[in-house]
Structure 1
Amino acid sequence: MSESFSGGCQCGAVRFRVEGPVHHASICNCRMCQKAFGNLMAPFASFKSPVEWTRGKPTLFRSSQAVQRGFCNKCGTPLTYQVGDGNPALAIGAFDRVNEIVPTIEFARENRHPVMDNLDTLTPEDLGSTDEERNMLAILKSFQHPDRDTDNWQPQG
């Protein structure tokens, strides 16, 4: 029996499940992926088995003649990268058990942001290390979907 992976967007309007094992896990540094994620790189996992959309479906944006990208149209979470009619690759950060999928391939390294070579030199600061952060965390009520499938969750906002 193969492993099952689930995940979804931040608000919970779009959820998915896919059977493992992971076929490829990668990060991409190309400018298109950077813009699509609003980040320095985009991490993706692909599977040989099809994606099952268990709640909602992503809205698609054609970012080039060959690629469609899927995202939640309620909260904006980037979810998929799809070439042609094949299975979409899924954003690693959207998985419930995100630490179980580790990229082994890096695309467009020539476009890698300079800080990526120096992450270990950044000054670490734990969340909640200042009075201001502790005060904010004490009253914070997250509207983010929990990292698990649940039948009674209602998207917020």
Structure 2
Amino acid sequence: MNVQKDDGHAATVHEGGCACGAFRFRASGEPTRVGMCHCMTCRQVHGSAFGAYAIYARGDVMMSGSLSTWRSSEDGRRHFCPTCGSVAYMEFTTRDEVDLPIGAFDETGLFEPDYELWCKHREPWLPQGARPEYDEERQH
């Protein structure tokens, strides 16, 4: 979807939310990066082999609805819907960004990951070499 910005140019907007619809987000423009994470926390939170996120500047994302928050690390915060349990987004207190799960967007095929993190925990049956890989965290 495109919306008109104050400067007269159109900005791409992508919407999404949790499984039950109680939480919604609206992301304007393009993400700063898109990545896959194989860390044990992402694996457990998503109940999958990895988490995949579109990372946006905080000011480019509008949200509505009530969420619960879990402090998953010293500076990591994961927000989820208290009704359906869906992962809504994650953030780090040290960055002015919002990490939106790719699977939470209303459309499919929007983003392809640029890199993979925590590959030391990647399932061996997943393909390797498709994008830059980091054993742990990448340098920002």
Residue 111 of structure 1 corresponds to 121
Residue 61 of structure 2 corresponds to 51
Identity of aligned residues (%): 30
C-alpha contact (below 8 Å) 1:14/1:56 kept by paired residues: yes
Per-residue deviation, residues 49-82 of structure 1 (Å, max 9, x unmatched): 43211x3033211011110001111001112120
Q: Tell me the C-alpha RMSD between the 2 structures.
A: 1.6
Residue 78 of structure 1 corresponds to 87
1:19 to 28, 48, 51: 28
Distance, in Å, in 2 between the alignment partners of 1:103 and 1:58 is 26
Residue 10 of structure 1 corresponds to 19
Instruction: Please list, as runs of the form range in 1=range in 2, the aligned pairs for 1:119-138 lying within 5 A after superposition.
Output: none
Distance, in Å, in 1 between the alignment partners of 2:11 and 2:115 is 23
Residue 130 of structure 1 corresponds to none
Specify the code of the residue in structure 1 equivalent to 2:33: H
Gapped regions of structure 1 (runs ≥ 5): 119-157
For residue 35 of structure 1, report the CA deviation from its aligned partner: 1.1
TM-score, with length taken from structure 2: 0.77
Distance, in Å, in 2 between the alignment partners of 1:73 and 1:57 is 8
Residue 3 of structure 2 corresponds to none
Which of 1 and 2 has greater Rg? 1
Specify the code of the residue in structure 2 equivalent to 1:93: G
Aligned residues: 117
Gapped regions of structure 2 (runs ≥ 5): 1-9, 129-140
Residue 98 (structure 1) aligned with residue 108 (structure 2): yes
2:46 to 34, 37, 41: 37
* Helix, strand or coil at the partner of 2:125: helix
C-alpha contact (below 8 Å) 1:50/1:87 kept by paired residues: no
TM-score, with length taken from structure 1: 0.69
Distance, in Å, in 2 between the alignment partners of 1:16 and 1:87 is 14
Distance, in Å, in 1 between the alignment partners of 2:31 and 2:50 is 20
Per-residue deviation, residues 80-139 of structure 1 (Å, max 9, x unmatched): 120006232101100011311111111111210122139xxxxxxxxxxxxxxxxxxxxx
Specify the code of the residue in structure 2 equivalent to 1:89: D
